[in-house]
Structure 1
Amino acid sequence: MIGRMKKWLGIEGVKLELLLPEEVEAASGILQGRVRLESMNPHEVATIRIVLIERYARGRNTERLIDEYELGRTELGQAFSILPGESRELPFTLPFAFIESNIDAFGKKNFLLKGLAKAAKAANQVSSDFRVEAEAQVKGVALNPFDKKTILIKH
């Protein structure tokens, strides 16, 4: 009974870990990494979904606004079994594209406006943080294993 409950909740089940570079060049438009899977019990992994998300914050104090944008998504769709004590690393390539803000578009018009756009971003406390999230769909488990890691994307 307790064993079935543990399996259903994913306890002692598949553990997922993202292995990513510390920083990525924005111009490349590609993030390459690996997903490590380990398990204490036999399980069947159906798919692994990997997403790159930008957390875009602007404004001050009570007027602070935060939006999240999905910049890229990939799915490792090959189903496989993972045995007890086994560790698997699966490589992935995640293509991504930035969503340009109004201030960035204004700054790209010419080199004089670039400095003005930079000052406007500083005055409005604009910041972007990036994270990668991965979730594995495991058959027979209610709570799927997942991991998320922050990453630096250089412009």
Structure 2
Amino acid sequence: MTITLIAAAAENNALGKDNQMIWHLPDDFKRFKQLTTGHYIIMGRKTFESFPKPLPNRTHVIITRQQDYTAEGCIVVNSLEEAIKACPQDEEVFVIGGGEIYNQSIATANKVELTRVHGVSPEADAFFPEIDLSKWKMVEEVFHPKDEKHAYDMTFQTFIKK
């Protein structure tokens, strides 16, 4: 199983505030959709509740401490370990947030798909964990300049565990 963390984070690792993303980057959304469609996606309850509806063509695995939590068509578990066990063991699985779930899962992850958002250090209450370059190797980096649809420069980065 490949466990991939996928996120968009500012240079200060900011992810979001008040359960909302800080920016609107259509090409980052396209990349997220392209990479995660057809796969299991693991997330915390608050991340799930930030969506207007479940994301199409993906199996949602929601981690919550609430014992009686239900979400139609989704798998609900109470720990990261249970979430991983609920996923196919021979496929790539994506961890999509939030900050607490990323912090719990970075040690077991094999891959990180990070959109690094440049030129902004927003106020945030959720952060992506620091990527320790003694443990991770960047294998791909694609710069995307800001344009009429994107307020910020960004770089799509792929890391694999050494």
TM interval, short-chain normalised: under 0.3
TM-score, structure 2 as length reference: 0.21
Give the structure with higher Rg (CA).
1
User: Counting strand residues as a fraction of each chain, which structure ranks higher?
Assistant: 1
